[in-house]
Structure 1
Amino acid sequence: MKMPDMVWPAGVEFHSGESAQQVAMMLAGTVAEFLKGRLLVAKRASLAVSGGSTPLSFFHALSLKDLDWSRVDVVLADERWVDETDAASNTRLVKENLLRNNAEAATYFPLKRPGETPQDGLVAVNAGLANLTRPLDVLILGMGNDGHTASLFPDAPELVPAMDIDSREVVAAMTPPSQPQPRITLTYAFMRDARFTALHLKGGDKLETLKQALRQPDGLFAMPVRAFLKPGLQVFWSP
């Protein structure tokens, strides 16, 4: 389909299709090939994914890809601090839609651990991620209409340290007032080192949000997704 009339930063590639299913297949194929390439030169590879409804078709398609999933680590970019049985759980979403078929053999690293709050669980989360293959090989992000990505929300009081490029923290507890549940997220410093990063979007509203982000690229805390609009980013969008 025709590329939207947008000025992209140097090194950012845009991919689109006629349908969400078509774009999901494109993204799944690209990710699978990248992971296969990494597994040719590394003992293990890592994949960070995002929740929500947009990636469901992508999850289904990727779960069928023929690669050595037993050597792939899967982690969420962020998670709501709820039990896995909760309908809002991204872990539940990933287990039901991605960690099946061939991908059932992957090793999953949950971000939700015991504790009343994300702050209470930070030590356990970090311990649980100790064996995660790093830096991330593949990072798949989404974006909200407020410009958040992962759980880097503009109104979160913890946003500044969570986006500190010099931070050595892997995860951060987030309590954005705009959200019904507290969150835990991978930090920007950890995510920015991913070897392959894709922004997976659906709908004209997301394209308008992206246009707004591109108009003022330096306002990182107003729209945290701007921090990822840099060379190497792959944008996959469907109407």
Structure 2
Amino acid sequence: MKMPELQLPEGVKVHSAQSPEAIAQMLAERVAECLRRRLAEGPTATLVVSGGSTPLPFFRVLRDKPLEWERVKVALADERWVPESEPASNTALVKNELLQGAAAKARYVLFNVSNKDAVDAVSELEADAAELTLPVDVLVLGMGSDGHTASLFPDAPELARAMKPSEGQRVMVMTPPSQVHQRVTLTLPVLVQARFKALHLKGQDKITTLARAVEAPDDWSAMPIRAFLQAGLHVYWSP
């Protein structure tokens, strides 16, 4: 199955290219356009990104885009609760790969990992997340082969609360047994209400995962990505 053959819900737009570098260019152009438009309308713009290896080419293109970066707030959709010195740190990844050159002027908001246990740091993380003007302007997500996105894992005991949190709750600690580290994530309402939502994918296996997801679009407990497969989502894919 190829991405154009996948029957996604109405209103989900697919963008594909022949290489990760080409799709990174397409995505970076659109994200920069969205941020410029928002900066023309207000004092700041918010960009929420994901970690991992897939977004690296995108980060390297986006950081060179001419933007008023000092007016951009950058946050992670989720993070492993590890120090920046650890290879698993998405914060370190974003700082090293995106917040370079002109983009170094952007303000990094989330997630700053402390020495506390993640549960004990929630109030501090919520205070940081309060700096995110909602709705978020641009959101770029990834997806795992189990159908998770951000740190909304199907095996996390906190999943139901992260998908339908208490009023105003923006951050949730997640402890999925499948993962080595504690996780912190933005909750579903913060993520799904973003003005521009992109799902950035690479590889044939991700098409297979999406095909499984569309078979039962309402069962988000089994595959949380299903909560995002709705009109307005842009899927950017390359082999």
TM-score normalised by the chain length of structure 2: 0.96
Deviation (angstroms), 1:111: 1.5
Deviation (angstroms), 1:5: 1.1
Higher mean Cα deviation, 79-88 or 166-175?
A: 166-175
| 2:34 maps to amino acid | F
Answer whether contact 1:113 1:124 (CA < 8 A) is retained.
no
Give 1:10's aligned residue. 10
Answer whether contact 1:81 1:112 (CA < 8 A) is retained.
no
Q: Provide the rounded CA distance (Å) in 1 between the counterparts of 2:37 and 2:61.
A: 18
Answer whether contact 2:146 2:154 (CA < 8 A) is retained.
yes
Superposition map of 1:1-239 within 5 A: 3-164=3-164, 167-239=167-239
Q: Deviations over 1:12-70 (max 9, x none)?
A: 00000000000011000000001001111111000000000000000000000001111
SS of match in other structure, 2:5: coil
Deviation (angstroms), 1:130: 2.6
Aligned length: 238
Q: Provide the rounded CA distance (Å) in 2 between the counterparts of 1:34 and 1:79.
A: 24
SS of match in other structure, 1:59: helix
Answer whether contact 2:158 2:175 (CA < 8 A) is retained.
yes
| 1:124 maps to amino acid | E
Q: Provide the rounded CA distance (Å) in 1 between the counterparts of 2:218 and 2:167.
A: 19
| 2:90 maps to amino acid | N
Answer whether contact 2:155 2:176 (CA < 8 A) is retained.
yes
Give the unaligned 5+ runs of structure 1: none
Q: Percent identity?
A: 53
Q: Provide the rounded CA distance (Å) in 2 between the counterparts of 1:221 and 1:39.
A: 36
Deviation (angstroms), 1:3: 4.8
Q: Provide the rounded CA distance (Å) in 2 between the counterparts of 1:86 and 1:126.
A: 23
Q: Provide the rounded CA distance (Å) in 1 between the counterparts of 2:166 and 2:127.
A: 21
